[in-house]
Amino acid sequence: MTTIRYREIISDGFNHAEIVDEHHIFDLKHFADACGQSPEWILQLLEYDILNTRPEERIHQFFGDDVSRARRAYRLQRDFDASFSAVAMMLDLIDEVQQLRKQVRHSNFKDA
């Protein structure tokens, strides 16, 4: 069974729909195209551990989930004029906050 994620983004009054198949595999060039960035920029994401590390034989293999993370990294870099190391730290903090919120919701659900 294939899971397809659908996300609708409303920004500045415009709707933008994005469909990402989390199991789709991209090579470096196609992944860079999907992200709207250069392959060199994508390699920087790997170097700074913004994207999950891969085994050496799959270093240039990317998945649908990686597209969303790379796009978020680009927006953070652009909006805050942030370095790759700052973007890595921001994404780690965002992930941690999301995880803590899930735990709180789960805890509140159990107590209800």
Q: What is the CATH number of the domain that holds 52?
A: 1.10.1660.10
What pLDDT, in 10s, does the model give residues 55-108?
888 888 999 889 989 999 999 999 999 999 999 999 999 999 999 999 999 888
Q: How many residues does the chain have?
A: 112
* Full domain range(s) for residue 44: 4-111
pLDDT at position 8: 44
Residues forming beta bridges with residue 14, ordered by sequence position: 11
What pLDDT, in 10s, does the model give residues 1-51?
444 444 444 445 555 555 556 778 899 999 999 999 999 999 999 999 999
Contact 65, 19 (CB under 8 A): no
The CA distances from residue 107 to 36, 79, 93, 103, 111, in Å, are 39, 34, 21, 6, 6
Counting the structural domains of the chain, the total is 1
CA atoms within 13 A on the CB side of 85: 0
